[in-house]
Amino acid sequence: MPTVALAITDGMLHLELSLACEVFGADLTHIANPWYDFSLCGPRAVQVDRFTIEPDHGLDHLARADTVIVPGWADTDQAPPADLVDAVRAAHAAGARVASLCTGAFVLAAAGLLDGKRATTHWAHTRELSRRHPNITVDPDVLYVDNGSVLTSAGKAAAMDLCLHLVRLDHGSTIANKIARRLVVPPHRDGGQAQFIATPLPEPRNHPLADLFPWVLARLDQPLTVEDLAHQARMSSRHLGRHFKQVTGTTPLQWLHTQRIRHAQELLETTDDTIETIASTTGMGTATTLRRHFARTVGVPPDTYRRTFRAQPLITSHTQPQQTPPR
């Protein structure tokens, strides 16, 4: 059973902490069994906003976990506690995968885990993180960054994106999507995109494209054009483009391309279909076209992706699975 330890100390942000508890600490064995062995690790009873939290173990227990999560740090003007920084550094040295949520990146940076790496944090604090730690390449325009054994996320909702990304690495996209539906959040947002929802939910119907999304997703095998989408949405192509930018943060064609890639990922994980069949089903045409676009978008060829994520065993030690390189 993979172990997840949440590092807690006074002054952390309660929302990010709660998100991690909800994803990794809830009893979800009815969805995936075994789930995670989850624990809270802190120096003592800690005060998080208006809540007092009693940890299960001391900070030294972080070094025994497969994955360590560091929630947001409320006051970035103050240096993180030395005992927390030392414990996170020791956990990583012991082989743990370490992930920060929001301004928890300041803790990872203080521990030296982000030196020479690309990282992110809440956009309002990226400039300060970069100023304080010039050896880090701070990217303010992404939801999260996956460096393999060290991961960082932007603020608030992006923390959930990173938590679901970790679930997806450990359990596959089908389980991660089930968790997302349980939490009523989008099943996947690409870490390399700032505001782009890769698989938007058709509900609630509070925007002009709500009916168009499911119509397109049911026809990914067809050679759709922007004009086809505009006709179905009963608007001009220019008007469609403006709505797509507002709702998804990208263009109609880029959104459509990403849906094809995401569908290909799901088929690679959940079926024995050949690459040729998947190419046809996702509207990519030929296996060659699918391989080219898949490798460019995901970072690995379809066959490698299938070997990595199809029936992938859960992490039971500090040995990490092959990670998809960040884009």
Q: Could you say which DSSP state residue 79 is in?
A: P
User: Of residues 21, 41, 102, 163, which has the active-site annotation?
Assistant: 102
Structure tokens at 121: 């944090």
- CA distances from residue 174 to 117, 195, 272, 296, 311 in whole angstroms, order as listed: 30, 23, 15, 23, 11
DSSP state of 57: B
Burial of 194 (0-12, 13-18, 19+ CB in 10 A): middle
Half-sphere exposure of 213 (CA within 13 A, CB side): 21
Q: Any catalytic annotation for residue 21?
A: no
The sign of the CA dihedral 294, 296, 301, 307 is negative
CA 141 to chain centre: 14
Tokens of 65: 């976990």
Q: Is 41 within 8 Å of 21 (Cβ atoms)? A: no
Give, for 125, the enclosing helix (H) or strand (E).
Answer: none
Closest CA to 142 of 121, 117, 160: 121
Task: Give the torsion through C-alpha atoms of 249, 251, 257, 259, to 10 deg.
Answer: 40
Question: What do you get for the CA distance between the two ends of the chain, in Å?
Answer: 30
Task: Report DSSP state, residue 46.
Answer: E
User: So which residues are the catalytic ones?
Assistant: 102
